Amino acid sequence: MVQKSLIFFLLSITVLLSKAQVYDLSIENLRLRTRDSLQHLLSAIGPQLMDTTLSTKEQQALFDPIYVYAQENRKVFTEIRKRYFKELPAPPSGLKELQMEEVSGSVLLGMFADAKYSTITLVQSFKPLSIALLIANFFQPEFVQREDIGFTELWQSYLFGNQVFVEEIQQNKWKLWAMNRFYVWSFILDLETDKVEKLQYSGFNNPAFTQLDIPFVSYETKYSIDKLYLELNAVRWNSYKNLPEDLENESSLENYIDKCLTEFYNTKQEQFFVIRKKIVQDLDKETNAQQFYKNEVNIPQVEKNELKAQIKPYFLQPEEITQYLMALANSLQPLNGDVLKISQNAIVGFKHKVLSVKDQVNWTILSIGSVISFQYNWNIRKGEVSMIKLFES
């Protein structure tokens, strides 16, 4: 009787999730159109990207067609972003009143105040957290220098997750507070121009911020994939308060957080399966895969084993897997540290397609980039990746 009830419960979850809105198709469609536009542009201007004889103004002008594309689709960009901004909670009073240091005199800040530069930079970012992290990454070298911190501190701040609070201060003009366990940064974003202004930060481990001890704040999301990402982020955030005393080094800390995430995944495995299944079912099929096979690049077995260990069962979509594959490929042929090729792949990203499927569980995925492509088998039930191949595009 208990077994039958369990089976019925799992089937009920599957049916409910299959009827729910799994992910935002409008973002995926816009992302694909944007990627194709970037791919077309880079195919035309690729060699000029590393032309040292060009002035900064001439280099920026190379990307003018992307600005034109973004302006032609401005209404769509604004509507999608605004929808996600409206989902997020307002900042707690303590955070809103926190005194922060304003970044002034920064060259990058001046560039982000320029509508053309900021629009081109943010063209593939749609949700508040991805926008906030992208801007933080641009200012990271300056932040590290100001705060006199190193890689370990930055790495730990990533491990414990992030959360974002927002407030609309004028129509389509929003202030964002993005925070991790160690510091918070804020800025104002104009959704109609993409201009960024009034960038501020709290300082690393500033007691005025850390003593606020802000809990993870959940909120309602429309799509089930966003709900799972939010819950994964909450696991990271909450693990900070429950750290074992016997952690010896950074590696054991990372293993502990991975253990927490894996335990969460084990309780939600059916939901992960349904979401992953919907995502891969919606991918286009690749009918001419043979064109890639003549340019296969050998991946040493040691790297393959190390990579498989880094790809976690709680990854939800091919894009997450590809990020780890890229980290490996950057040191192998044909990239081998080539800044131009790495930049091209990073700017454009990947288009994911299906090569084959077995039992609706084992999917062979082809992720096509501008310089390199990957093929791998993905067991969407277990979240396991195998048979990894690398091709020169």
CB-based burial label for 11 (10 Å; 0-12, 13-18, 19+): exposed
Q: What value does the CA radius of gyration of the chain take, rounded to a whole number of Å?
A: 22
DSSP H or E stretch at residue 185:
strand 184-190
Contacts of 210 (CB under 8 A, 6+ apart): 181, 182
Output the CA torsion 191→212→181→313 (10° steps). -80
Residue identified by tokens 């530069």 is 117
Residue 103 dihedral angles phi and psi, to the nearest 5°: -80, 120
Cα dihedral across residues 200, 205, 211, 213: positive or negative? positive
Work out the number of other CB atoms within 10 angstroms of the CB of residue 196.
24
- pLDDT tens for the chain, residues 1 to 393: 434 333 333 333 333 333 358 999 999 999 999 999 998 888 888 778 777 788 878 888 888 999 999 999 999 999 999 999 999 999 998 999 999 998 887 787 888 999 999 999 999 999 999 999 999 988 888 888 889 998 888 888 889 999 999 999 999 999 999 999 999 999 999 999 999 999 999 999 999 999 999 999 999 999 999 999 999 999 999 999 988 887 767 788 999 999 999 999 999 999 999 999 999 999 999 887 777 666 888 888 888 888 888 899 999 999 999 988 887 777 666 566 666 667 777 788 899 999 999 999 999 999 998 888 899 999 999 999 999 988 887
Task: Name the residue ranges covered by the structural domains of the chain.
Answer: 63-220, 279-392
Q: Does residue 340 contact residue 351 with C-beta atoms inside 8 Å?
A: no
- Residues 27 and 125 sit within 8 Å (Cβ to Cβ): no
pTM of the model: 0.88
